[in-house]
Amino acid sequence: MKILKVGICGWGNVATGMFNAIESNNKFIKQSGVNIDISCIGARRDNPKCNPGNVPVFRDIFEIPDQDIDVVIELIGGVEVARELILKSIRAGKHVITANKAVIFNHGDEIFAEANNYNVKVLFEAAVCAGTPIVKMLKEELASNKIKKISGMLNGTSNFILSNMEEGNEFKSTLELAQQEGYAEPDPSFDIDGVDAAHKIGLLSYIAYGLSLPPKEFYIEGITKIDKKDFIYAEMLGYTIKHLAVSMDNDESIELRAHPALVSKDSYLANLKGVRNGIEVDTDLVGKIHIAGSGAGQESTASGLISDIIHLANSNNNMLNFVSSSDEKPIKEFKEFSFQYYFYIEVEDNPGVMASITTALAESNIGIESMVQKEDLGNNLVPIILISDIFKENKLEGIKEKILSLSSVTNLRTIRIESTD
């Protein structure tokens, strides 16, 4: 049986969750031929929720790479200190396993190049969707495939909030519930502004398409502008609303984006609720593959971390880390993307208002697939729901300004519609 000595850096919820999982599931782990020996812990303070027993604890996390261990498990979070710790571990000849998506997103190229120089591995399965095994699937099981498109809900907090809004709840109260349940941080901006999902799709694009880390700038939008009324009208049209992260190979360039979108109610992703992550991978050899699982929490993240430990113990240590492509394709400018759009337009109930909106669209050469005036909102205000034909993103701000300039229009929201082709 292979014995792997590990040192844990960080002693928060993720680290203690992994420690407990190794202790409680050790029988199953050993069935894979691996004995995980937790040899030391780096923690600035104790965690009353978990007693490490006789495992030595170092208050300086930078002492961990100097110990007699095989692997450093980086669970301190953040970016710059984590980068420094990972690089020190690599230079000490230690493999590294991390759940820290931000440090890999921002410094991945440097970290993997250094790991190759020192013939050690850096694994990050738990950094993308926790224990849902998408990283290994792309790197290994689908290595012979051309990845045509990756799309999915990569942030459990956003999916939880949108799922609850779909049931008629307000954004603010649902965010507060997510914080009470531990799905959202006290400062939830990383999740609700789309940054977390953007980091994850960046890492998957690095594997699938050889993009640099960090990738060049791409479009990121969160869920804060979505209103619960949008779900009512979306359902009437056969859609629901999800926060999607998408990466697609267009031969000449790579599409990379993270934003809310209307998706067909009949689609696989539309039916994944709560904190679940769901990913659809479209390939040339095996077609579309769906994978879903918990994207957050101690247990799920622990599963991803332990799977990397077992993978490391059973793999060929001479295998190099994946590196970005030398002939990397450019990221397509978002203004060149084309979508259908959902428009929510709040107007004063005056004669001719619908005609003025259709005229504004026609003047911009934008067609209308459907347009309907809904029930009175009170105060002489009515909503108009409009689905446009496909047009380029670079026209969107202009047409929004034109519609908002109409005297009867009081409010306007737009959401992109994701193609199911």
Query: Are 200 and 245 in contact, with CB atoms under 8 Å apart?
Result: yes
| Degrees to nearest 5, angle at CA 127 with 103 and 104 | 25
The burial of 317, by beta-carbon neighbours within 10 Å (0-12 exposed, 13-18 middle, 19 or more buried), is given as exposed
Q: Exactly one of 200, 216, 374, 395 is catalytic; which is it?
A: 200
What single-letter amino acid sits at 342? Answer: Y
332: Cβ–Cβ under 8 A, 6 or more apart, which residues? 250, 253, 254, 255, 256
The candidate with the shortest Cα–Cα distance to 111, out of 120, 413, 334, is 120
The C-alpha atoms of residue 156 and residue 183 are separated, in whole angstroms, by 8
139 is catalytic: no
The C-alpha atoms of residue 98 and residue 310 are separated, in whole angstroms, by 14
| Residue with the two structure tokens 């190979």 | 249
Strands 219-220 and 254-264: parallel
Query: Are 142 and 283 in contact, with CB atoms under 8 Å apart?
Result: yes
Indicate which residues carry an active-site annotation: 200
